Amino acid sequence: MKSVVFDLDGTLIHSSPDLQAAANKMLADYGFTPLDLAAIEGFIGNGVPKLVERCLKVYNKPLTEEAVDKMREYYDADPFTLTVPYEGMFDCLESLKAAGIKLAVCTNKPLAPALTILDGLQLTQYFDVVVGGDTYSTHKPDPQPLLGCMEKMGAEMANTIYVGDSETDALTAKNADMTFALFSGGYRKTPCKELRHHFLFDDFSALTPYLKG
């Protein structure tokens, strides 16, 4: 294996508490009561507008551009206060980098906050390429962001793996016809066994030997 592309939220980082905080600030502006963490985690995976749409749907309010802008403003102002890397992730990245494996991130999160979080958590050094939800005109599960990420890093399909945690990631890998490693943590409503994957792991110490082959 020569290249690995990671999803961000729910794969490399546990970011839902910060997303919850921003979403609840947005909801409070409309007089709505806060949503709990489990609800927010069920809404993550298709970018900020979809997250906002799902939050507002709880209160039968249609999606508006204003609500999306509010969510982005609150989140961009404080994107990683409560966010933490998953256990063992740093050791995994160190090992892969030392082995000469190219690493990248492909996320539906907009690029600016994604880079801010990676910098803040001291992760930027590990990645050759970072693709955000606004890098291309489409979002995952459309395969374009993932394929574009591979093109930017000079990766070939035959020796590249995509690593993610959600239904969106599994479908993205399927649409791109890529090998997929599924993290059983993260944010997902569907049982792992029902999602297309080639390797299932619950700890990054198990992912490292699989990727290094």
Closest CA to 195 of 177, 168, 155: 168
Considering only CA atoms, which of 109, 211, 113 is closest in space to residue 160? 211
**Nearest to 189, CA basis, from 68, 5, 82, 54:** 54
Q: For residue 104, list its beta bridge partners.
A: 5, 129
> The tokens 């590249």 sit on which residue?
160
Q: Which of 7, 9, 18, 169 is catalytic?
A: 7
Residue 98: is it exposed, middle or buried by C-beta count within 10 angstroms (0-12/13-18/19+)? Answer: exposed
Active site residue 18: no
Positions marked active-site: 7
